[in-house]
Amino acid sequence: MLQHSLAAATAAVGDAVILVIGAQAARIAASLSGDAVRIAVNHAWEEGIASSIRTGIARLPDACEGALLMLVDQPLVGAESLQRLVEAWRSAPQAIVAARYAHTIGAPAIFPRWCFADLSRLIGDEGARSVLHRYADRVRHVELPEAAIDIDRPEDLIALQAGRDQT
């Protein structure tokens, strides 16, 4: 799933991808040798997703105008999905652009520079959803029903693969 997500991200934003890794960082980084991706190690990974977001935001170059936050556990989100988000953001670069799926507004999402301070203050297992709620009037939605599928356990992946085999 990681390789799929990296390929999708690279197709959407080119070589500007920063992969944030935490638990088992050395093993994951070693498995990526040869891939053109910048790696940021989140040493506070046990805190939760907020520490990964802070780690990634801290590694952004000063000239960065926006950050696409995505999760590796959404296997049906591919390059086309991310490119739709990027196109929507480019048409309104001061807006937050977020996926809408299954009665949810969430990741993947693009946050403009003015959100970076808020993202850098997230704590614990709080993802960027609080920023989306805080600035709900500045969020544009892109329908991405494929983002509703996420893999949290091995059984989820088995079920997804079984469903694909039946089609």
pLDDT digits (tens, 9 = 90+) for 75-113: 999 999 999 999 999 999 999 999 999 999 999 999 999
CATH code: domain 2-165 is 3.90.550.10
pTM value?
0.90
Return d(Cα 116, Cα 74) in angstroms, integer.
23
How large is the average pLDDT for residues 18-22?
Answer: 94
44 pLDDT higher than 60: yes
Question: Residue 37 — pLDDT band, cuts 50, 70, 90?
Answer: confident
How large is the average pLDDT for residues 42-59?
Answer: 96
| Domains of the chain, residue spans | 2-165
If one compares 152 and 164, the residue with the highest pLDDT of the two is: 152
Q: What pLDDT sits at residue 53?
A: 97
How large is the average pLDDT for residues 133-158?
Answer: 87
Q: What pLDDT sits at residue 167?
A: 45
